[in-house]
Amino acid sequence: MPLCDYFSALDDATAVAVLDAPGGPGGAGLDTVPLKGVDPVVVIARLEAVLTGCTYEEARARPRSGRLLSDPQHDEAFVVSLTDTLAEALAALPPDRLLPAATAWSATEELRLDGATPDTAAAILHALSTLAHRARTDGHHLYCWWSL
């Protein structure tokens, strides 16, 4: 299962620079949330659809959705962008919507097949929401360091 560290950075260049840091974004001193196996393309687009009320296809079509920013020939890790729409939805998520959103997200095919429960999805959602809130405060974007 791939390692997926979600992190915030000021811009794409700063985000891609984590590939040169031992330990990825955490090793580079960036605000990081490690979430092993939470796919930044499909699973995160499913989350965006749940939080924003759009379809999965609309979420995937948004600028920056699962966009590979690093060299695809890099052997060990990749950096993928998340949409600003998702970052804003996560940052603005009120506490009383967290469990209902997590319940809906945990019912998606990908999370269901991984054995996710509403509680495990809520823990992930809380971590991402907190990261997004800090990123918004700092004027940063969200990214995923995906290590195979």
Mean pLDDT by groups of 10 residues along the chain of 148 residues: 89 95 92 92 97 98 95 84 98 97 96 93 97 98 93
Torsion of CA 126, 132, 136, 139, to 10 degrees: 150
What is the reported pLDDT for 23?
A: 87
What is the reported pLDDT for 127?
A: 98
What is the reported pLDDT for 73?
A: 78
pTM: 0.94
Domains, the chain, in order of start with CATH, read: 3-147 (3.40.1760)
What is the reported pLDDT for 1?
A: 58
List all residues 6 or more positions away from 105 whose beta carbon is below 8 Å from its beta carbon. 46, 47, 50, 111, 121, 125
